């Protein structure tokens, strides 16, 4: 029997050495698997050079991460599962908070002078945006924020910045690590809009002073499954209550606008560039677009994981053609990127036999993912006069997938679940303005393509 992973366990020795003397300098909202596998890993290595930037991890809803990791002093394991495997104990999370239990603790932390950066992985829906990408003032969490009870990440960031301004401190930099196109600008506009409702001067101050860099994040991180803790325990010789798993590949590109005093993330392999847009479009449209395509088509064909779907020759050649012939023409790749090589590398990552990435996990929240991953590509294709037939197939497959779940009485995991469970037929889906911009929904070529794909599935 092995003991639990704690600072005293031998598996933790290296992580403890790196974090010796470290202080909290970063507040992170949403410490799910992706944050822990990705950003926490970069900060773990940074702490070794600079002890100012440990993480305080704030859960906005559930106490489950805190409950699992607090007895381990925030330590957890990243299992890198690939053709070669590796296990790292990470010590960058120094504090764990659950916002609804003590909002004041989160706010006073945000307003303390040592905090230089706020990061967020709250998923697409966590930003509470409407179909046009603007903050939805009618969203229940935003209504609570407006009533003076910070609830969403937008509410916490706005109130945290207000307290800093009032205390004469510089604003913290705000870094979205979610898969949204132009994530920094959307985050900023949402915070400014919220602030403007109650304090126009605060809105102006945030607009003028606070940095919200645009970012691209990439590392395939399947949710922790039942098999992982035992696998980790064998590897590290200690029991970790909630390890995470990811592929070896890991990339973080940040727009080079961080203020002075921000953590030197470039020193641990983060790419800083003035032009994130190309990286972002390549990643969201090629990787995530292909992922969602495999998810809906793969589930309809009875596959369970990404690797299974890639083992289906018909599906893998469909996805490859989609990426090369239909998506790539809409992507302005950053200078120096070898686009065919990028596509080949993604397909190879999808074939990773060492992880079971469930298609159902990727299929969640489709109403928020499709616009970012596929509909922008389709709109660009239409205006450039390209064919969009193949691109319409995953859109139709999403509709079929939702209908199938609803008919089977299976819970639909999506912020639009109530509306989606009632939708049947292409027209009903296309009428959802939160998903399909009206101009796209009205486009005859698009409607025809979706209808014929829907009929053929
Ligand atoms: C996936 C992403 O769950 C999903 O929707 O497409 O989480 C994907 O694995 C990551 O963006 C890869 O960086």
SS (HEC) of 118-138:
EEECCCHHHHCECCCCCECCC
Distance 159 CA to ligand 1 centre (A): 30
Q: What is the pTM of this model?
A: 0.97
d(CA 17, CA 91) in angstroms, rounded, equals: 9
Nearest CA to ligand 1 atom 3: 362
The average pLDDT across 328-352 equals 96
Q: Is the CB of 179 under 6 A from ligand 1?
A: yes
Q: What is the mean pLDDT of residues 280-287?
A: 98
Q: Is 263's pLDDT higher than 90?
A: yes
Answer yes or no: are the C-beta atoms of 181 and 188 closer than 8 Å.
no
Mean pLDDT of 159-183: 98
Contact assessment for residue 434 and residue 130, using Cβ atoms and an 8 Å cutoff: yes
What is the average per-residue pLDDT within 232-258? 98
The Cα 323–Cα 66 span in angstroms is 39
CA of residue 179 to ligand 1 center, whole Å: 8
Cβ burial 357-395 (10 Å sphere, 16+ → b, else e): bbbbbbbebbbbbbbbbbbbbbbbbbeeebebebbbbbb
Structure-token pair, residue 137: 């003032």
**Which residues, listed in sequence order, are joined to residue 218 by a DSSP beta bridge?**
251
d(CA 139, CA 128): 6
Q: Which of 291, 349, 373 to mutate to test the pocket of ligand 1 (most atoms within 8 A of CB)?
A: 291
Query: Which residue is associated with the tokens 């999403």?
Result: 398
**Which of 288, 356, 366 gets mutated to test ligand 1 (max ligand atoms within 8 A of its CB)?**
288
Q: How far is the CA of 360 from the centre of ligand 1 (A)?
A: 12
Q: CA 279 to CA 287: how far, in whole Å?
A: 11
Instruction: Please check the confidence at residue 340 and state whether its pLDDT lies above 70.
Output: yes
Q: What is the pLDDT of residue 1?
A: 65
The protein residue with its alpha carbon nearest to ligand 1, atom 4, reads 362
For residue 312, how far is its CA from the centre of ligand 1 (angstroms)? 20
Terminal-residue alpha carbon distance, the chain = 51
Confidence of residue 241 (pLDDT cuts 50, 70, 90): very high
Q: Is 119 in the pocket of ligand 1 (CB under 6 A)?
A: no
Two tokens at 150?
């910070």
Which pLDDT value is given to residue 348?
Answer: 98
Averaged over 252-262, what is the pLDDT?
96
User: HSE-up of 24 (CA within 13 Å, CB side)?
Assistant: 22
Query: What pLDDT shows up at residue 2?
Result: 85
What is the pLDDT, as a whole number, of residue 92?
A: 98
**What is the overall mean pLDDT for the chain?**
97
* Residue 173, C-beta contacts closer than 8 angstroms, at least 6 positions apart: 116, 117, 118, 210, 211, 212, 213, 258, 259, 262
Spatial contact of 41 and 78, defined as CB atoms under 8 Å apart = yes
Chain segment 128-155, per-residue pLDDT in tens: 999 899 999 999 999 999 999 999 999 9
List, in order, residues 6 or more apart from 207 with CB less than 8 Å away.
Answer: 188, 192
Q: Give the chain as a 3 state SS string.
A: CCCECCCCCHHHHHHHHHHCCCCEEEEEECCCHHHHHCHHHHHHHHHHHCCCCEEEEEECCCCHHHHHHHHHCCCEEEEECCCCCEEEEECCEEEEEEHHHCHHHHHHHHCCCCCCEEEECCCHHHHCECCCCCECCCCHHHHHHHCCCCCCHHHHHHHHHHHHHHCCCCCCEEEECCCCCCHHHHHHHHHHHHHHHHCHHHHHHHHHHCCCCCEEEECCCCCCCCCHHHHHHHHHCCECCCCEEECCCCEEEEECCCCCCCCCHHHHCCEEECCCHHHHHHHHHHHHHHHHHHHHHHHHCCCCEHHHHHCCHHHHHHHHHHHHHHHHHHCCCCCCCCHHHHHHHHHHHHCCCCCCCEHHHHHCCHHHHHHHHHHHHHHHHHHCCCCCHHHHHHHHHHHHHHHHHHHCCCCCCCCCHHHHCCCCCHHHHHCCCCCCCHHHHCCHHHHHHHHHHHHHC
CA of 366 to the centre of ligand 1 (A): 12
352-410 tens-digit pLDDT: 999 999 999 999 999 999 999 999 999 999 999 999 999 999 999 999 999 999 999 99
Distances in Å between the alpha carbon of 355 and those of 39, 102, 227, 239, 244? 20, 37, 11, 20, 12
**How much of the chain, in percent, has pLDDT values that exceed 70?**
100
Task: State in Å: Cα 203 to ligand 1 middle.
Answer: 32
């Amino acid at each position: 029997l092995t003991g639990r992973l704690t600072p005293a366990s031998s598996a933790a020795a290296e992580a403890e050495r790196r974090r010796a003397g470290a202080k909290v300098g970063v507040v992170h909202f949403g410490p799910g698997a992706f944050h822990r596998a990705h950003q926490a890993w970069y900060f773990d290595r940074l702490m070794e050079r600079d002890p100012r930037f440990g993480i305080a991890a704030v859960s906005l809803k559930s106490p489950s991460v805190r409950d699992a990791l607090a007895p381990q002093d925030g330590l957890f394991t990243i299992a890198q599962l690939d053709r070669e495997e590796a296990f790292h104990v990470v010590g960058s999370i120094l504090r764990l908070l659950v916002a609804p239990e003590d909002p004041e603790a989160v706010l006073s932390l945000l307003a303390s002078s040592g905090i230089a950066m706020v990061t967020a992985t709250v998923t697409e829906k966590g930003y509470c945006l409407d179909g046009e990408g603007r903050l939805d003032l009618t969203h229940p969490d935003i209504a609570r924020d407006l009533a003076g009870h910070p609830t969403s990440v937008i509410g916490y960031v706005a109130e945290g910045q207000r307290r800093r301004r009032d205390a004469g401190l510089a604003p913290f930099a705000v870094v979205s690590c979610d898969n949204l196109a132009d994530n920094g600008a959307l985050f900023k506009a949402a915070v400014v809009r919220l602030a403007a409702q109650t304090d126009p001067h605060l809105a102006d101050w945030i607009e003028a002073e606070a940095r919200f860099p645009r970012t691209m994040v990439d590392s395939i991180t399947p949710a922790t499954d039942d098999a992982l803790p035992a696998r980790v325990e064998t590897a590290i010789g200690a029991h970790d209550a909630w390890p995470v798993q990811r592929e070896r590949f890991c990339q973080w590109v940040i727009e080079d606008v961080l203020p002075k005093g921000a953590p030197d993330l470039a020193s641990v392999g983060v790419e800083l560039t003035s032009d994130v847009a190309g990286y972002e479009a390549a990643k969201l449209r090629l990787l995530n677009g292909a992922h969602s395509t495999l998810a809906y088509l793969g589930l309809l064909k009875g596959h369970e994981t990404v690797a299974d779907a890639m083992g289906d020759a018909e599906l893998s050649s469909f996805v490859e053609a989609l990426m090369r012939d239909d998506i790539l023409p809409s992507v302005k790749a950053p200078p120096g990127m070898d686009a065919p090589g990028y596509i080949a590398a993604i397909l190879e990552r999808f074939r990773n036999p060492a992880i079971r990435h469930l298609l159902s996990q990727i299929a969640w929240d489709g109403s928020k993912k499709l616009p970012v991953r596929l509909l922008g590509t389709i709109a660009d294709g239409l205006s450039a006069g390209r064919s969009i037939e193949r691109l319409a197939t995953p859109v139709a497959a999403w509709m079929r997938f939702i209908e199938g779940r609803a008919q089977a009485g299976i819970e639909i995991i999506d912020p639009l679940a109530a509306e989606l469970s009632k939708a049947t037929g292409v027209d009903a889906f296309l009428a959802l303005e939160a998903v399909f911009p009206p101009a796209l929904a009205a486009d005859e070529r698009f409607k025809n393509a979706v209808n014929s794909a829907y009929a053929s599935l």
